[in-house]
Amino acid sequence: MIAEIGHFALIAAFLLAGLQATVPLYGAHKGDRGMMELARSTAVGQFALVLLAFAALVNAFVTSDFSVLNVAQNSHSTKPMLYKISGAWGNHEGSLLLWALILSLFGAMVACFGRNLPPSLRARTLAIQGMIALGFLAFMLFTSNPFDRILAPPSDGAGLNPLLQDPGLAFHPPFLYFGYVGLSISFSFAVAALIEGKVDAAWARWVRPWTLAAWCGLTVGIGLGSWWAYYELGWGGFWFWDPVENASFMPWLAATALLHSAIVVEKRDALKSWTILLAIVAFSMSLLGTFLVRSGVLTSVHAFATDPERGVFILALLAVTVGGSLTLFAIRAPKLQTTGVFQPISREGALLLNNLFLSAAAATVLLGTLYPLFLDVLDAGKVSVGPPFFNATFGPLMAPVLGAMVIGPFLSWKRADFRQAMQKLWLGVAAAVTAIVLVLILSGAEGILPAVGVGAAVWIICGTLLELADRVKLARVPLSESWRRARRTPRAAYGMTVAHLGVGLVVAGVLGATVFKTESIQNMKPGNVVDVAGYTFTLDRVERLNGPNYQAERAVFRISTDGEQFATVNAERRAYPVEGDTTTEAGIHTTWVADLYAVIGEGNPRDGWTTRIYHNPLVPWIWLGTIVMSLGGVISLTDRRLRIGAPSRRRAPTGGPSSPAPAE
């Protein structure tokens, strides 16, 4: 019964989305206030209905209602509660429902918090959002209904892929989708602006927080996914350039570019059609990812069970959404008037450089991901494009971005003095050069790449901190004056500082994981000892244990350095009888400067076990860095001008002991 309520809620949401997609658009055209206002109520109503459907599905999973096909195929009664819940979105139909839920959530948020938007822009934005929802709800109702019943329910379910039974992955899709789908709002804003024929500073200020929120979610989502791959797949790596990873990374690159170009639109009234294009492209990349994962055109470890009928449907959806918006772009964008002009050496110039290279990187990842498909279709043979291609192309494209992201904030708008900026940065240059030389000496000049990488990380972190110091005139004015300036600095500026520091941490972490790791593979019996990077690992014992729905072999390692034991880690190999699969759980001890990582492979008490032990310096910084980056986004979101939406951001605080108090 509850499943049917969910189904009906979906149908009702579909009908409401139809209203939301049409009436407000006509109202905005005619200038009819009532019709425009319909956008808000339908957006909120649609969200409530999809939420109801989602709750019905989660309920079916929690109560193990195996008369629902989706539950029978993807759940099992002995599964821990967390994975019963996360199982609701661990499959094609359920994840699509999560998609629709977040889509309508963003629509409802614009309806509720977008009070200061001009009514016609708000109505058009929500109408576009309604169109996307219409497409996805139709897709679900016609090809992928999560509430289908089976006539003869099985006594128990088929279980969930054991790899997915993991806390990291339980929360990975919600964050990732929040980012993926959140970009729909930037897209809707862009299309609405094209319909209106007007893009101005106010538009950029409205669209930026939504993009920023989606970007934060996407950053955390990608970080969680990579973290999961690191400890669950058990080979010490964190990123594999798998088509599905790329599918989440391309929208991230586009959204990052969008965040930066929107600043230029807001402050300088330039780069308008480019920003609109980026907003369209960013969401198109999300849709593309959805298509790639669900249509079976590419192979991936993450792909859902595929079905050609679904593929055709999503492709049609993709073609209409992206093709339609790009047609509108081709017709309308040339008419957008730009007033801001700037010299190549300027803040705008640096942001443009960032945009060019981020877009080129996104295009490269796109090409690498789709190249096998292109050749296959042209009957030119089958190839696969792996890490060698991405490693050779992505790094060089990122290098200018990493260089410019430090210098950019020192440059003034419109026209800047490069020499002067570099003079302020001499300490950063010195630190980076020192780091490079130091690494070259310590590693015996073995490779230039690790040294340059370390230099880049030091450059970003030092340069970003120097920018903050320069902003508050640290050491040039009395400390109390600096403190006063620090408190007057808008939160958006702090957001940038924090996010850029996060990038520095990620660069350092990636470097540690790729060039500085030490690894040792051997056969061990209890009592055996192995030395890795100055740490002594002793295999203490291997024990059998029973989990809620698996049996495991757990290896306990004692780790000591200089004869002093300081940690034990447990590495497990789990066998899931229901699914007939095994997984590895790496034992990780982190010192925050390095990870000590142990994995147990096959073996038995007589012959011993294969063990792999890694020393991964700086790796924890990858995830720390992604969290710091999104934290920067959140800080920027709390900026006064976004909360108030008025351009009066230069008002000094009234003084008093507290830091700048929120206005509301």
User: What is the amino acid identity at position 197?
Assistant: G
Binding status of residue 523 toward other proteins by CB under 8 A:
no
User: What is the amino acid identity at position 42?
Assistant: T
Binding status of residue 289 toward other proteins by CB under 8 A:
no
How many Cα neighbours within 13 Å face the side chain of 564?
2
- How far, in Å, are 255, 524, 542, 602 from residue 605 at the CA level? 52, 10, 8, 11
Report the 3 state secondary structure along 589-620.
Answer: EECCCEEEEEEEEEEECCCEEEEEEEEEECCH
Single residue of 18, 87, 372, 455 touching other proteins by CB under 8 A: 372
Binding status of residue 318 toward other proteins by CB under 8 A:
yes
Binding status of residue 132 toward other proteins by CB under 8 A:
no
Asked whether the beta carbons of 529 and 557 are under 8 A apart, the reply is no
Nearer to other proteins (CB atom), residue 375 or residue 578: 375
> What residues contact 87, with CB distance under 8 A and at least 6 apart?
61, 74, 75, 79, 94, 160, 164
Question: Rounded to the nearest whole angstrom, what is the least distance from the CB of residue 388 to other proteins in the complex?
Answer: 5
Question: Rounded to the nearest whole angstrom, what is the least distance from the CB of residue 468 to other proteins in the complex?
Answer: 38
- Indicate the SS3 state at residue 629: helix
Encoded one letter per residue, x for contact with other proteins by CB under 8 A and - for no contact, window 557-596 reads ----------------------------------------
Encoded one letter per residue, x for contact with other proteins by CB under 8 A and - for no contact, window 598-627 reads --------------x---------------
Single residue of 49, 281, 285, 293 touching other proteins by CB under 8 A: 281
Binding status of residue 384 toward other proteins by CB under 8 A:
yes
Single residue of 327, 412, 420, 591 touching other proteins by CB under 8 A: 327
Question: Rounded to the nearest whole angstrom, what is the least distance from the CB of residue 599 to other proteins in the complex?
Answer: 9
Encoded one letter per residue, x for contact with other proteins by CB under 8 A and - for no contact, window 482-521 reads -------------------------------------x-x
> What residues contact 7, with CB distance under 8 A and at least 6 apart?
53, 145, 147
How many Å is the Cα radius of gyration of the chain? 27
Single residue of 71, 250, 322, 505 touching other proteins by CB under 8 A: 322
Binding status of residue 296 toward other proteins by CB under 8 A:
yes
Question: Rounded to the nearest whole angstrom, what is the least distance from the CB of residue 657 to other proteins in the complex?
Answer: 53
| Burial of 197 (C-beta count, 10 Å sphere; 0-12/13-18/19+) | exposed
Binding status of residue 315 toward other proteins by CB under 8 A:
yes
Judged by CB under 8 A, the stretch of 46-54, 194-202, 388-396, 490-498 that binds other proteins is 388-396
Lookup result for tokens 């010192």 = 591
Question: Rounded to the nearest whole angstrom, what is the least distance from the CB of residue 338 to other proteins in the complex?
Answer: 13
Single residue of 142, 374, 426, 566 touching other proteins by CB under 8 A: 374
Binding status of residue 399 toward other proteins by CB under 8 A:
no
Asked whether the beta carbons of 456 and 432 are under 8 A apart, the reply is yes
Beta strand 564-576 with 551-561: parallel, antiparallel or unpaired? antiparallel
Residue 512 phi, psi dihedral angles, 5° rounding: -60, -40
Ranges within 534-563 binding other proteins (CB under 8 A): none
Q: How many residues belong to the chain? A: 664
| Burial of 415 (C-beta count, 10 Å sphere; 0-12/13-18/19+) | middle
Ranges within 441-460 binding other proteins (CB under 8 A): 446
Question: Rounded to the nearest whole angstrom, what is the least distance from the CB of residue 291 to other proteins in the complex?
Answer: 7
Question: Rounded to the nearest whole angstrom, what is the least distance from the CB of residue 244 to other proteins in the complex?
Answer: 13
- Indicate the SS3 state at residue 570: strand
Would you state the torsion angle of the CA atoms of residues 19, 21, 24, 30, taken in this order, to the nearest 10 degrees? Answer: -110
Binding positions for other proteins, rule: CB under 8 A: 235, 273, 277, 280-281, 284, 291, 295-299, 308, 311-312, 315, 318-319, 322-323, 326-327, 329-330, 333-334, 370, 372-377, 380-389, 391-392, 446, 519, 521, 612
